[in-house]
Structure 1
Amino acid sequence: MSIAAERIERLFALAKEATANGEFDRSREYVRLARRIAERNRCGLPRAFKRFTCPRCAVALRPGVNARVRLQDGHVAISCDCGAIKRYPYD
């Protein structure tokens, strides 16, 4: 695993922890920094990172804290407090 990938994983863990503590601005900064590292190093983001970050407000999503998770016909829908909805098929 490269240094960039390790750093992205660590930043995502910090973002989830900040969201759990209600520090949404700090979580947003961690997510933005991780995305910049991925762009700069041309490495992809992990699947969990893509699925549990909001595309609109760039905050880490924690079900029960700032996100709702619903199962619909053939896909999972995650709604952020800002109103953005992410959908992905069952795995």
Structure 2
Amino acid sequence: MGIAEERITRLHQLAHEATASGDFDLAREYVRLARRVAERNRCGLPKSFRRFICDECDAYLRPGVNARFRTQSGGHVVVRCDCGATKRYPY
């Protein structure tokens, strides 16, 4: 694991902790920084991190706090952020 991947992992942890404590602006800043690190080093964000990020407003999503997570009968998870953005992925 390179330095960039380690930094992205640490930023994921920090965003999770900031959202848990209610500091959504700080969590958003961590998400933006992680995206910037991934772009500069040409490595993608891990799937476990991407699934909890809003593509529209860069918020770190917490089920029941600032996002709705629903399952559909077709085998999809629908994630809706407070900003109104919707994301779907199979499970």
What is residue 29 of structure 1 aligned with on the other side? 29
Residues 2-57 of structure 1: CA distance to partner in whole angstroms, max 9, x if unpaired?
11001001101111111111111101100000000000011111001111100011
Question: Cα offset for 1:64?
Answer: 1.6
Normalising by structure 1, report the TM-score: 0.94
Q: Distance in 1 between matches of 2:16 and 2:81?
A: 14
What secondary structure, in the 3-state scheme, does the structure 2 residue paired with 1:43 have?
coil
Contact 1:19 1:65 in 2 (8 A): no
Which consecutive unaligned segments of at least 5 residues does structure 1 have? Answer: none
Q: Which has the higher contact order (CA 8 A, sep 6+)?
A: 1
Q: Matches of 1:42 and 1:27 in 2, distance apart?
A: 22
CA distance in 1, matches of 2:85, 2:78: 10
Tell me whether 1:76 sits opposite 2:71 in the alignment.
no
List runs of 5+ in structure 2 lacking aligned partners: none
Distance 2:79 2:67 in 1: 7
Following TM superposition, the consecutive aligned residue runs of length 4 or more in structure 1 with deviations greater than 6 angstroms are none
Q: Distance in 2 between matches of 1:76 and 1:9?
A: 24
Q: CA RMSD in A?
A: 0.8
CA distance in 2, matches of 1:36, 1:42: 10
